[in-house]
Amino acid sequence: MAELLRLVTAGSVDDGKSTLIGRLLYDAKGIFEDQLESIRQTSAQRGNPEVDLALLTDGLRAEREQGITIDVAYRYFATPRRRFIIADTPGHIEYTRNMVTGASNAHLALILIDACKGVIEQTRRHAFLSSMLGIPHMVVCVNKMDLVEWDQHVFGGIKAEFIDFAARLNVQDVTFIPISALRGDNVVQRSENLWWYEGSPLLTHLESVYIGSDENLIDPRFPVQYVIRSQMGEEPDFRGYAGTVASGVLRPGDEVLVLPSGMVSHIASIATADGALAEAFPHMAVVITLTDDIAVSRGDVLCRPNNRPTIVSELEATVCWMDERSSLTVGRTYLLKHNTRTVRATVHSLHYRLDINGLHRDKEAEALGLNEIGRVNFTCTEPLFVDDYITNRGTGGFIIVDPVSNGTVGAGVIRVMAVAHASPNVALEGGKLARERRFAALGTSGATVLFTGLSGSGKSTIAAGVEEAFVTTGRPAFMLDGDNLRHGICGDLGFSEKDRMENVRRVGEVAKMFAESGALALISIISPRAADRLLIRRLHVEASLPFLEVFLDTPLEECERRDPKGLYVRARAGQLPGFTGIDSEYEVPEDAELVLRPSSGTIPEQISLVLSLVGDELSKQ
């Protein structure tokens, strides 16, 4: 069977999304004769001399009357090389929630831009939503090229503007194609009018884009939807667990861990209505039986003992609000539906509301209204078993349900987990010494200082100087350098988004233990994401331990000039993809307690500034 590609179309109103889909279906011979005759008659009744192919997807009466898309329309077609499911989503800003719905499980986002209008607000909104929802591939179709006389410079200008905006998003694969959906140029066949374009036409690209690595086949996750019991037939004591594989591959004989109970068993069999299976992979609905008779309920998750999701009762997520009758506000309680598990969750804080156009953060926002997006922290009444959405879309997203109306009011993607909760079978051991007694006996107080900035900004130099100044005066201090940690406790981590976040989390946990012992922990790590730095801060705030952030605001040009490890030279040569400052963004701290620039003084003078800051903070304890 041919491979299935799910794609979503997006763009501003009247950019030609429905026309493009109609053209694809028509030219790919994906329209039945009676459908074609129906839209011919409708087009004639509306006075159109040509067949309006947009009518193939604009099925609602209101859509046809207004000539716009309102609801999400799904269309299926196939070629000898691939099967397709297209979600045609509305372009109006008030229907942004519909776009989120259509894009939630897409492999590819097809964003249309009107060549006459260029990149506008809705273009940016839909590009951001596609990035937020983790769609791995993006195709930008610059439509209506016939109206700009097939001008290559118009196409080039729009491409450059979009690339400039997308550089701030998590977009890995983006392709630009000039087309005319109405006339069919470059949709299925190459166009002589676009002779200067050297790439493939749209359908050829859709047939060839590689999606084999898009599914997460590494992390087995099986949320249990229903427990099947049978007291009849050949197996009177049958107990099976029905659900859909969220990620990974499961096989009979595999050892599995049941969350939240922590019980371990082995898979005895995997079956569907058609019989037994040798393996199950993402999106397959199956029934699993275990070799042991253990308690498993709806909402539980089967995973590997050494590869488990993070158990959280607090989580941070990027939320898109979808309800026009209410707004998301701090203190309100909702139902969070995460796979098959539903828990009550209270909005603990709204960190910011995002301005899609410039990606600016409004930290003064008090609520999220219809179609608005923000970073929200929830406190749940029961634990959830989650993964970072970037690496596992199957267990990294959730919907928000109003407990009164039972309507879906929002959707969220988990980018940052708050403090991870250990297994319920593990308890914290407090010891015999209270913190105050320990500090009094040692004659010291513990704290943590995070030094953050680009590679070569001087983090380790300043941190090492502060460490030396403390230790030579008889006060315990220890520098946790990012490179050193990657040779030890973080040696198993790479540089993916997930691994970088885990690297920062581990460093924060270790620093907190140093601070608990009465030492000054000095973290020297790039930590480019504001959310990761916030996680370290919260670890200390929740433990009532002093925490200070020092930002080494050294310009990129100066860091490259220094380049003590030769990393910038390798990054510029393309040998270090994703290197912070070159092709990966560094989110500048906005709340650092101290900012050090080259103009702040000599190295000894900057060390003195940090020592004064630490001294002032410890004097408050």
Q: How far apart are CA 330 and CA 347, in angstroms?
A: 5
| Fold of the domain spanning 3-208 | Rossmann fold (3.40.50)
- The answer to whether residues 386 and 312 touch, using CB atoms and an 8 Å cutoff, is yes
Q: How far apart are CA 585 and CA 169, in angstroms?
A: 9
Say which DSSP state 2 is in: P
- Closest by CA to 467, choosing from 616, 611, 621, 613, is 611
Q: How far apart are CA 227 and CA 609, in angstroms?
A: 62
The residues that bridge with 314 in the sheet, in sequence order, are 379
Helix 121-132 / helix 96-103 crossing angle, nearest 10 deg: 30
Q: How far apart are CA 20 and CA 187, in angstroms?
A: 8
Both structure tokens of 391? 């690496």
Q: Cβ-count burial of 354 within 10 angstroms (0-12 exposed, 13-18 middle, 19+ buried)? A: buried
* 262-268 LR contacts (CB < 8 Å, sep 24+): 262/423, 262/424, 262/425, 263/292, 263/294, 263/295, 264/305, 265/290, 265/291, 265/292, 265/294, 266/290, 266/291, 266/292, 267/291
Amino acid sitting at position 378: F
Three-state secondary-structure class, residue 531: helix
Cα-trace Rg, the chain: 28
Amino acid sitting at position 396: G
pLDDT at 492: 76
Q: Cβ-count burial of 570 within 10 angstroms (0-12 exposed, 13-18 middle, 19+ buried)? A: middle
Q: Could you tell me the mean pLDDT of each successive run of 10 residues in the chain, 621 residues long?
A: 84 76 74 66 65 57 40 78 84 66 83 91 83 87 93 94 82 88 87 92 91 84 91 74 94 93 92 92 93 91 89 87 90 93 92 79 88 90 87 89 91 67 54 80 90 93 94 93 85 72 87 93 90 85 90 92 86 79 84 92 94 89 70
Element containing residue 1 per DSSP (H, E): none
pLDDT at 319: 92
User: Hey, how many other C-beta atoms are within 10 angstroms of the C-beta on 351?
Assistant: 17
Mark whether 12 is an active-site residue: no
Q: How far apart are CA 559 and CA 569, in angstroms?
A: 11
**CATH among 2.40.30.10, 3.40.1010.10, 3.90.1150.10, 3.40.50.880 for 222-303:** 2.40.30.10
Q: Three-state secondary structure along 305-324?
A: CCECCEEEEEEEEEEEECCC
Amino acid sitting at position 382: E
Q: For the stretch 112-145, what's the b/e string if a residue is b when 16 or more beta carbons lie within 10 angstroms of its beta carbon? A: bbbbeeebeebbbbbbbbbbbbbbbbbbbbbbbb
Q: How far apart are CA 236 and CA 234, in angstroms?
A: 6
- The answer to whether residues 328 and 373 touch, using CB atoms and an 8 Å cutoff, is no
Q: How far apart are CA 142 and CA 192, in angstroms?
A: 16
In the chain, CATH 2.40.30.10 covers: 222-303, 310-417
- The answer to whether residues 341 and 299 touch, using CB atoms and an 8 Å cutoff, is yes
In the chain, CATH 3.40.50.300 covers: 3-208, 435-619
**Quick one: CATH architecture of 435-619?**
3-Layer(aba) Sandwich (3.40)
Amino acid sitting at position 5: L
Q: For the stretch 575-606, what's the b/e string if a residue is b when 16 or more beta carbons lie within 10 angstroms of its beta carbon? A: ebeebbbbebebbebeebbbebeeeeeeeeeb
Both structure tokens of 143? 């439509």
Nearby residues of 86 by Cβ (< 8 Å), 6 or more positions away: 7, 8, 9, 21, 24, 74, 75, 76, 77
**Quick one: CATH architecture of 310-417?**
Beta Barrel (2.40)
Considering 247, 455, 524, 527, which one is annotated as catalytic?
527
Scanning the structure block, which residue is given the tokens 């309102």? 70
Amino acid sitting at position 237: D
Q: How far apart are CA 458 and CA 555, in angstroms?
A: 11
